Amino acid sequence: MLCTPTSLKRRALLTLLLLHANRRFPICTLIGELWDDRPPPSAVAAVQMYVSGLRRVLDPAHSRGGGDARRHPLLLTAGNGYLLRVRPGDLDLDRFRALAGLGRDQRAAGDCTTSAESFHQALALWRGTSPGELGQAGLPAHYTVRLEEERLALVHDRIGADICTGRAREVVGELEELCARHPLREDFHEQLMLALATAGRRAEALNAYARARRTVVENTGIEPGPGLRTAQQTLLSGARPDNARHDRCRPAVVLRPAGLDG
């Protein structure tokens, strides 16, 4: 079992190496990423120290046995950079993507129950330190934003599958919280309207649209997109919103090696 590095900067380094697993990552690029292109004079020595620490954590036996650091079985020196060797299936990322893809295929085939199970299992792999916390250690913002966006995309898929299985009432509270946290994400507002309507709370679903529209207009100066407007018109017509229209097939990423709980 691998242990989680304790230094935030070292954890950010590990995350960067995992993002580029099995590929050489030049040390100059690592330095630029870790210090946002404003490295201290001691940056090279600091990276070498972080790498040395990671090697001890990743394979303590190799370090205790006095093995050549350049021949480390997992974290190799490769030219003027480093390469983190990862086997297929070693990363939660691999299992996450496999389960997410399986769930989307199951949903496309109309199997709501098994797709919901696959999505729940995939999201259960998202654990430990959040990307936002790693951002405090110097991980570039574009990585953390992308990771969070991809996680939310699968949360959206999972909620859609839950609604399809008849759990609309159970997800209303979660959706209200998601809408509060991400007020400009119209897809969650659409799902809240769908869940409320499916649960027989059509008036509340229309009120949810009014709140979403007000939020969007006040913050952007423009009307909501066609998805929200179509959901409102569907409710006004008395028809039941279509859950299938809310399904998305977007990739999602978790960047933690198997067993690295934080």
Domains of the chain: 8-84 (1.10.10.10), 92-246 (1.25.40.10)
If pLDDT is split at 50, 70 and 90, which confidence band does 1 have? very low
Q: What is the CA radius of gyration of the chain?
A: 22
What is the pTM assigned to this prediction? 0.77
If pLDDT is split at 50, 70 and 90, which confidence band does 241 have? low
Which residues, at least 6 apart from 92, have a Cβ–Cβ distance to it below 8 Å?
125, 126, 254, 255, 256, 257, 258
CA 257 to chain centre: 14
Token pair in block for residue 231: 């959901």
| Residue pLDDT, tens place only, 180-219 | 999 999 999 999 999 999 999 999 999 999 999 999 999 9
Q: What was the pLDDT predicted at 37?
A: 74
Of 91, 89, 152, the residue nearest 119 (C-alpha): 152
Q: Are 218 and 138 in contact (CB under 8 A)?
A: no
**In the β-sheet with 75-78, what is the strand arrangement from edge to edge?**
25-26, 81-84, 75-78
Rounded to whole angstroms, the Cα distance separating 90 from 84 reads: 12
Of 219, 262, 228, 258, the residue nearest 246 (C-alpha): 228
Lowest mean pLDDT among 95-104, 132-141, 171-180, 248-257: 248-257
Judged against a pLDDT cut of 50, whether residue 147 lies above it is answered with yes
The more confidently predicted of residues 136 and 157 is: 157
